[in-house]
Structure 1
Amino acid sequence: MAGYEYENVVMAIEAYFIQKLLESGVVSGVGDDAVIFSDNPNLRHRSGGSCLPKDISSPVYAMDMFWEGTHFKKAWFSPREIGQKAFLVNVSDILAMNAIPKYALLGVSLPKNVSKDFIKELLCGMVAVCKKFHITIIGGDTIGGNALGVVVNMIGEARKNTLFRKGARRGDLIFHTGKLGGSYLALKRLLSGGKSNKKSRFTKPILRAGFIAEIARFAHMGMDISDGVYAECNRLSECNQLAFSLKNKKEIYKSGEEYEMLFCVAPKERLRVMRIAKKHRVDVECMGKVLRGKSRYPAYAWH
């Protein structure tokens, strides 16, 4: 009987979440087991809504998990902040390639003791990001679990000047946007029992869509800083078979979840980068140079 009652509670929670999601105004194509993108009007008519107009010619896919106990503790964030960050980290992956986020498939694990108010606030955070970036949720799944978890599969549209991790050239300058280290400091404060800083990028990542779109015209490669500058430079050195030589060794280069942009440009483009940064009111720093060889830095395992 206890198992039966548990199942009923979980089903009620899932049904409430789905109901509120459908009422949010950011959902389309939900109804069948999957959604189809097609230009066939007969297919769209027959589907009754689960077939959407095919409006992506070069799709970009990204997926990230945001899980209680691994990425956060519920005491650290409000429900709205959890929903917001779960989506922002996925949007960041799409923007970092100079692509446009368009659709999302959403997976959510909901503990049986979660309240309706918590669910409403969680959805408010998700919906706010969807509306800001014009993202439509087109399907997904919910489960009852022991921990709160959000999985977002993002689908974007690639643009002409797509940025990849590979493409750096010997002699390139290495830049990053923003002021790094705040995310690591916020995490240390939380782990030591301190309170969350609502303005910290650990709570709410700052994404640089307009800046990225402009530097993508001449940048040779780019990625967002999710695991720290050292960790990202290790990856970039490996895939480009070049050394990402940093001018200084800084503790802040170990700071993950910054979601600032790391990119490389030819030396002649330095002033152009500065002009674009000033236009978008974005801090930028040239932190090194791409050289022959390989580089390796002491990176943290962020998660």
Structure 2
Amino acid sequence: MKVLITGSHGQVGHCLVNLLSKRSDIELVAYDRDNLDITDEHHVQTVLADVKPDVIINAAAHTAVDQAETDVELSYAINRDGPLYLAKAATQHSALLLHISTDYVFDGDNDVPYVETDTPNPKGVYGQSKLAGEEAVAANCANYAILRTAWVFGEHGNNFVKTMLRLGKDRPELGIIGDQFGGPTYAGDIAKALVTMMDNFTGSQQSGIYHFSGEPHVSWYQFANAIFDAAGKHDVLESLPAVNEITADQYPLPAPRPANSRLNCEKINETFNIKPSDWQAALKNIKAYC
């Protein structure tokens, strides 16, 4: 089986390459944005015609949430147009397309975890462009799975865990938002989930949207405390900062964030026997994030 990965240098893409490069039954073709510009339809068509993959895993995205508010054209080019071109190419070559999306497609006003059938209502450009990408994939590809996830972190790339460790090293005190809730999700678990879906996808009847994120659900404040607890246990920091709980209103950002980013992951468990990400276990390897 030939598998093409886009965004191979990103958090999830990096983990996918590590996983699939070890499998003798997989012919892996991994591209970063320098090798495959998914916003260029002709380039996508040319590369896909040459590779002829059985599976495409799109791990490429414009994830700079605040920057997206001003870089609207770039955000839509990567998050909407790129998935559209990949979906068309996947259909042309009868390939399965696995596409990563986000909790930001929701407004966060629910008081319970979101299920796949809840109506999206993104507040910012990032979420709006990602929702447009979902719609493009669903409308142009017969065999596809859209994986919505949230609060991604891992040893590779930039993320909240690395930011906390960096700030905790330099500052004696931090204010962390306590009124936004979600499920931290380990990038390696997202990669494993995608591979499991790929291996067990049986046809278009399984096409659709799936939620996958971590449990237990926590606030950013609670997540930060868990990070520093792990850092203390494994002697990552010489001293731990005081962590103070603040509200989102006290830390305004250009792009709005959902107050509720919790995702219900029952569907992916029932369909593919995939359990939520165990983010607490992933923090036991805290030294690798430094």
TM range (shorter): under 0.3
TM-score relative to the length of structure 1: 0.25
Q: Which has the larger radius of gyration?
A: 1
More strand by proportion, 1 or 2? Answer: 1
